[in-house]
């Protein structure tokens, strides 16, 4: 599938699924096809890394933080999947979520400082919030995690701590924090993918 990155540069084909086929996978997933959903979740991360490489570079987002953003996007896609208009292509919706997750990361870094309006229009700043915060029963979702995992996910994804800050607070390595975070988020995605999951 040939695509352009978010700054308009052409990239090499990077998936055996076209945009239309990814939309078909999402529609099948919404109909309860777990296999289609798993295929979709495997195809999206490499696509997003390429499409948004320019913006990642523009804002100086490290490889580790890029993976955090992509995991956030996957969580948001799942939590908001019923809001997707299945008569429309999937990728513009996914790309909009990703764009706004990047803005969330920049906002977290600068905290209360004013952002450059040339890159961060006010419309975009307020369009997307962290997906887990939007879930009414977030407490129950986090309660499914072990205490340490729950602390790490909550601190980074809800309270806005960086992996480095949390590592210092917990007395463990930054790498260990990232590993726990990624495994926990993947676990949540897997749990949410079950029809029996309590959301």
pLDDT at 191: 67
Model confidence at 5: pLDDT above 60: no
pLDDT of residue 4: 46
* Rounded mean pLDDT, 114-140: 43
Structural domain containing residue 9: 1-133
- Say yes or no: 85 and 166 in one domain: no
pLDDT of residue 199: 29
pLDDT tens-digit readout, 154-177: 788 766 678 888 888 899 998 889
- Give the contacts of 62 (CB within 8 A, at least 6 positions apart): none
Whether residues 104 and 88 share a domain: the answer is yes
Q: Is the pLDDT assigned to residue 3 strictly greater than 90?
A: no
- Is pLDDT of 120 > 80? no
Tell me the C-alpha distance between 145 and 155, whole Å.
Answer: 13
CATH number, domain containing residue 185: 1.10.10.10
Q: Is 76 exposed, middle or buried (0-12, 13-18, 19+ CB in 10 A)?
A: buried
Whether residues 106 and 141 fall in one domain:
no
Q: What's the number of domains the chain is made of?
A: 2
pLDDT at 193: 52
pLDDT at 158: 66
Q: How far apart are CA 133 and CA 11, in angstroms?
A: 34
99-110 pLDDT, tens digit per residue, is: 888 888 887 766
Q: What is the pTM of this model?
A: 0.55
**DSSP E strands, the chain:** none
Work out the percent of the chain whose per-residue pLDDT is above 70. Answer: 68
């Amino acid at each position: 599938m040939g695509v352009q990155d978010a700054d308009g540069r052409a990239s090499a084909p990077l998936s055996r699924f076209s945009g239309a086929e990814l939309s078909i996978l999402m529609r099948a997933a919404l109909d309860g096809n777990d296999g289609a959903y798993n295929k979709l979740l495997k195809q999206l991360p490499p696509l997003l890394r390429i499409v948004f490489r320019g913006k990642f570079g523009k804002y100086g987002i490290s490889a580790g933080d890029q993976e955090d953003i992509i995991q956030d996007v996957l969580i948001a896609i799942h939590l908001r999947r019923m809001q997707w208009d299945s008569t429309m292509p999937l990728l513009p919706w996914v790309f909009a979520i990703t764009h706004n997750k990047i803005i969330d990361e920049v906002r977290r870094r600068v905290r209360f400082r004013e952002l450059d309006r040339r890159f961060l229009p006010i419309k975009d700043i307020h369009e997307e919030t962290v997906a887990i915060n939007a879930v009414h029963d977030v407490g129950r979702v986090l309660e499914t995690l072990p205490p340490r995992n729950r602390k790490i996910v909550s601190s980074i994804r809800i309270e806005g701590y960086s992996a480095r800050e949390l590592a210092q607070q917990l007395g463990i390595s930054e790498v260990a924090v990232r590993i726990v975070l990624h495994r926990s988020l993947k676990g949540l995605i897997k749990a949410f993918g079950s029809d029996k999951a309590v959301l």
